[in-house]
Amino acid sequence: MLMAIAMAVAVVSCKKEKNDSKDNTTWASDNSLAEKTFGDVKNIADEAMATQGKSTSFDTIYLGPCVLVTLDLAVFPYELTIDFGTTNCLCNDGHYRRGRIVTTFTGLYHVTGTVITHTFDNYFVDDNQVLGTVVITNQGPNNAGHPIFSVEVNGSIIKANNGGTITWVSSRTNEWAAGYDTPQWWYDIYLITGTGTGTGTDGKIYTMEITSAVEVKLNCHWIVAGILEIQPQDYPLIIVDYGDGTCDATAVVTINGVDYTITMP
């Protein structure tokens, strides 16, 4: 999704009038960075909880040998600390992290009413400092019996090398549509809806709304379905369509009524 957004904006830039020399698309990369950075936090914590930092439990995607995981069940809310150390730690996903993610939780992930709060202690990803909170609340099952989670992000990122500050506020609903009754994570499917808004390092505001639920299958590298609309300041509306559920790398971006097929990384 993130690369799709950036590529879509690149197309917008090409469509600008010739007398408009300002090619300001930094909001796209800023949004992508925020989405990726805050989105990874839940996955890192889930992996840390499942493995307790022991990479021999099964192959890990995010954690590495330089990460220390501590679980404290003597306090309430319970506390999970993921410590990457004070110097950059190369993680299994290829990103460098340092500092700590501190996760508190009132119960198990699958229990209705559980609140999971992620905060950051001098936490950096690729030398970008991450601030704020990610709060996930189990809302219980919907009418179909699928667990529903609200995901609220209120954060900011101070970019490395005096690159400026990004702010990001996001409100999403995650429906655990499949795999919640099986122990194998690769059967999990999530349907995601919601909105987001932010301010990039250039001061431009952008908003995003998922108009048809984004479908994420954990056994597929790409988003497989869903439609979202992106409204950047001073740019036309961008519509991104991820397809019909097939696991492939293509998506269709529509700008000013013109369709562009793109390949997701």
How many Cβ atoms sit within 10 Å of the Cβ of residue 91?
21
Phi first, then psi: give them for residue 12, nearest 5 degrees.
-55, -45
- Asked, for residue 225, whether it belongs to a domain, the answer is yes
Domain that holds residue 240: 2-14+24-263
Sequence letter at residue 170: S
Number of domains in the chain: 1
Cα separation, 141 vs 152, whole angstroms:
18
Q: Which residue has the higher pLDDT, 194 or 58?
A: 194
Q: Long-range contacts: 219-222, Cβ < 8 Å, 24+?
A: 219/186, 219/187, 219/247, 220/247, 221/247, 221/249, 222/247, 222/248, 222/249, 222/264
- Asked, for residue 56, whether it belongs to a domain, the answer is yes
In this structure, of 13-17, 60-64, 111-115, the range with the lowest mean pLDDT score is 13-17
- Asked, for residue 85, whether it belongs to a domain, the answer is yes
Q: Tell me the pTM.
A: 0.82
Task: Please report which confidence band the pLDDT of residue 12 belongs to, taking 50, 70 and 90 as the band edges.
Answer: very low
pLDDT at 26 (0 to 100): 56
pLDDT at 59 (0 to 100): 60
Quickly list DSSP for 53-79.
T-TTSS--SS--TT-EEEEE-SSSSEE
* Nearest CA among 166, 161, 105 for reference residue 136: 105
- Asked, for residue 60, whether it belongs to a domain, the answer is yes
- Asked, for residue 170, whether it belongs to a domain, the answer is yes
Instruction: Using alpha carbons, list the distances in angstroms from residue 193 to 114, 119, 242.
Output: 20, 23, 14
- Asked, for residue 19, whether it belongs to a domain, the answer is no
pLDDT at 138 (0 to 100): 97
Task: Please report which confidence band the pLDDT of residue 18 belongs to, taking 50, 70 and 90 as the band edges.
Answer: very low
